[in-house]
Amino acid sequence: MTTKKILCIGAGYVGGPTMAVIADRCPQYQITVVDLNEKRIAAWNSDELPIYEPGLEEVVARCRNRNLFYSTDIPKGIREADIIFVSVNTPTKTFGCGAGRAADLQYLEKTARAIVEYADEGKIVVEKSTLPVRTAQAMSRILHSNPKGLKFQIISNPEFLAEGTAINDLENPDRVLIGGMETPEGQRAIEEVVAIYANWVPRERIITTNLWSSELTKLVSNALLAQRVSSVNSISALCEKTEANINEVTAAAGRDSRIGAKFLKASIGFGGSCFKKDILNLVYLCGYYGLPEVAEYWEQVVRMNDYQARRFVGNMLAAMFNTVADKKIAILGFAFKANTGDTRESPAIAVCCQLLEEHARLRIHDPKALGNARLDLEDAEGDISYCEDPYDAVKGAHAIALLTEWDSFRKLDFRRIYDLMEKPAFLFDGRNLLDHRKLYEIGFNVYPIGQKALTHF
Ligand SMILES: NC(=O)c1ccc[n+]([C@@H]2O[C@H](COP(=O)([O-])OP(=O)(O)OC[C@H]3O[C@@H](n4cnc5c(N)ncnc54)[C@H](O)[C@@H]3O)[C@@H](O)[C@H]2O)c1
């Protein structure tokens, strides 16, 4: 089979950047990205891309209308493609059986049914979305229920990119994982997908496995990463009680090569569309397979994350004389992490909602996420303003809550900020981003995570 035409169904945070990099690195393939969302496709075809990701604009500019196309014509895309990547969203179910834990696979199933309807020859279908282990089995049943007798090969190729560094992660991945059936046809399909990545990824970084290992590895990878964050955050609470310093503890512990230094930063907690939903999915699967102890073990990672955001607001209240009612709080950063405008499951949402419940007045600034912040807090009641300029946000504020680790926050003029604020001025650094000693010397009362507060009282 000559595989020259690739289709990606789903033009989101994964489908968009992934296909842009494949198009860039594989000029011999023609790539079309389709989506039901017309606005999103129009944005991919415009100068204002629908998502912010460092380096993405340049890659798209190089490939668009050369070998990279964005379209809403899903039937045509399916008919013409040799390989179809499925990159639709798989959120947590909000209704019915498994609500709050299981993955909602309705978008995936609709995609499979569209493939059955429009395909007039067999194809390789690649699961790019994150899915519960054994989804490929259901996918295969749907695809093979076609009356045309077409044969499909299903491949699992989960995506490990992190938002904010997506282009670099795609261009220099630690590994690419490709799982397929252990049949000769399955192995041939694996090789077709390996051949795409082999255009720029060293062969030893392309791992091939059976389908189920590949599906499960994605959930396990996110669970292990989130577990590190929750582990460190749990210890940050203990540090605050004992005058141990979380930065010193993690720096020293991380020097052990068995532990490693990465992903050991204390914060208000993890966010993003994936960690929580993927762990809950794992929890659901463990319950489904009759492993309640395993389910409970992993669920605690999510509980600890919720606790950390609540604890942060609790610390704010305790420091500010047990009330924030009617006080202006400047929120610096709303995105779930730096270098993205994505706010899905951002801990900033929980922090802001809790502060609003306490009747605080919020002045929110974020370099890229104000539009999404507005949508997230649309139904929240209270006094909220959105400020393009960080200095507007802090004017007359009693406190600053820094919630996203944007590098630009380090460069703010904190002497000017101090002068603009009510006194005593409080600063709660939810990312341990700033120079706390310097801030204290300016006059702030500084509350980092997992470290002794620096106060003038
Ligand atoms: N965001 C991340 O950092 C990340 C990283 C790795 C893996 N993933 C996984 O990748 C998948 C996609 O995530 P995302 O963040 O790109 O989601 P997203 O919501 O940004 O994009 C999904 C897109 O699929 C489209 N879609 C849904 N059903 C469709 C259909 N039937 N036909 C055509 N288009 C359809 C939606 O309109 C949407 O634009 C999820 O399973 C997620 O867990 C995400």
Question: Residue 216: its pLDDT value, please?
Answer: 98
Atom of ligand 1 nearest to the CA of 40: 39
Q: Give the pLDDT confidence of 7-18 residue by residue, as tens digits.
A: 999 999 999 999
Secondary structure (3-state) at 6: strand
Which residue puts its alpha carbon closest to atom 28 of ligand 1?
107
Residue 1 confidence (pLDDT) above 50: no
Q: Give the pLDDT confidence of 154-207 residue by residue, as tens digits.
A: 999 999 999 999 999 999 999 999 999 999 999 999 999 999 999 999 999 999
Superfamily of domain 5-201: NAD(P)-binding Rossmann-like Domain (3.40.50.720)
| Ligand 1 probe mutation, 53, 88, 108, 217, most atoms within 8 A of CB | 88
User: Same CATH fold, 211-457 and 5-201?
Assistant: yes
What's the mean pLDDT in 336-361?
98
Half-sphere exposure of 369 (CA within 13 A, CB side): 31
Helix then strand then coil, in percent of the chain rounded to 5, is 45, 15, 40
Which residue puts its alpha carbon closest to atom 10 of ligand 1?
129
- How far, in Å, from the CA of 12 to the mean position of ligand 1? 5
CATH of region 211-457: 3.40.50.720
Nearest to 267, CA basis, from 302, 237, 297: 237
Q: Give the pLDDT confidence of 397-436 residue by residue, as tens digits.
A: 999 999 999 999 999 999 999 999 999 999 999 999 999 9
Catalytic residue numbers, as ranges: 274
d(CA 102, CA 108): 14
- Spans of all domains in the chain: 5-201, 211-457
d(CA 219, CA 294): 14
pLDDT band at 457 (very low <50, low <70, confident <90, very high): confident
Q: Give the pLDDT confidence of 199-250 residue by residue, as tens digits.
A: 999 999 999 999 999 999 999 999 999 999 999 999 999 999 999 999 999 9
d(CA 119, CA 130): 24
